[in-house]
Amino acid sequence: MDTCRIPANASKCSGNTMECFMVLSTPAQKISIGILCGLFGTMCVFENALVLYLIFSSPRTRKKPSYLFIGSLALADILASIIFVCSFVNFHVFNEAGFSKEVFLLQLGGVNTSFSASLSSLLLTALDRYISISRPSEYKLLMTRKRAWTALAVLWVSCATIACLPLLGWNCCVLDSTCSELFPFVDDNYLSGWICFIVVLLGCIVYAYAHVLWRARQHVAYMEKHQAQAGKQNTRMRMDVMLAKTLVMVLAVLMLCWSPVLVLMIYSIFARLSDRLRKVFAFCSTLCLLNSMVNPIIYALRSKELFSSLRRVFSHFRRQLKAAEESPEAESTHKSSVIET
């Protein structure tokens, strides 16, 4: 087992670095975390897998850059839920610490990559909507499929590179620096940089959506003054109202799920955390998983095209189920008629 400088408030751990971070002390806490992770993780994988199927099963949607970004968001959320749930439950619930520093940092890198890619995909979605409403006449020229795929490639490579820096050597064991009180082997300076990266992403998302919301309110105000104009503008006003409601939901859920974790991370850099706060952080971490579960509902299923595809899938499933239920009856009827004959 690799050893390095342990947080000052964890000195009672008798030198076992990994056990210092196993903060859930009662069976009730472990069961609660296990239930939350199991429920959120299962729903997250199911919902986002359904979104990916709806997007890439339709030639019309998989060619649009906006749906490519939503597909990237769904893929990132699936990876985040699988890697996070497996590593988090294994560590905090089953107290498994029999792995090396490299294995732990690889798991942490996978979690950071997927959550960072999820937020970065939200940013690309926000920028896509920002361009569509601020420069509608140039949107198709500015947002092509080639540029969308290039942006996604840069996104995933950047997130993976930043997340793997501790595994590549930027950790407190190699540098003999102060370790984070929240994550084993993680250097405080790296944690500060990662927090800044996430805060910048969130700030850009909020700015882009705030601008889109402002433009939507402008459209609503304009069209309320020109209600005499027909149909098309009234339809556009209804779309703007729906967009505004969606964006309010997006920002509210995003801030609700990420703020507690980021606040505790920032606090851990400047002050010493009590055991109670570290337990609170463990439970707040599941809110990021909740965000990944809610994303497909907000971004995908509120889309008319994807919702129509979803209804077609369910209708097809019901028809198949009905046919399967009726076929034994038809077969028995056929056999009875043969016997009578």
What is the SS3 string spanning 276-298? Answer: HHHHHHHHHHHHHHHHHHHHHHH
pLDDT at 335: 47
Structure pTM? Answer: 0.83
User: Which DSSP category does 171 fall into?
Assistant: B
The string of DSSP codes covering 139-157 is HHHHS-HHHHHHHHHHHHH
- What does the alpha-carbon distance between residue 103 and residue 85 come to, in Å, rounded to a whole number? 16
Amino acid present at 118: S
Phi-psi bin for 95: left (phi > 0), alpha (psi -120 to 50), beta? left
Q: Residues 279-337: pLDDT tens digits?
A: 899 899 889 889 888 888 887 667 778 878 888 878 877 888 777 777 654 444 444 44
What value, to the nearest 5°, has the Cα angle with vertex 206 and ends 246 and 68?
Answer: 65
Please give the domain boundaries of the chain with CATH numbers for all domains: 24-308 (1.20.1070.10)
Q: Which regions in the chain score pLDDT beneath 70?
A: 1-17, 97-98, 219-245, 247, 300-301, 327-341
Question: Which residues are registered as beta bridge partners of 171?
Answer: 186
Q: Residues 135-168: pLDDT tens digits?
A: 888 888 888 999 999 999 999 999 999 999 999 9
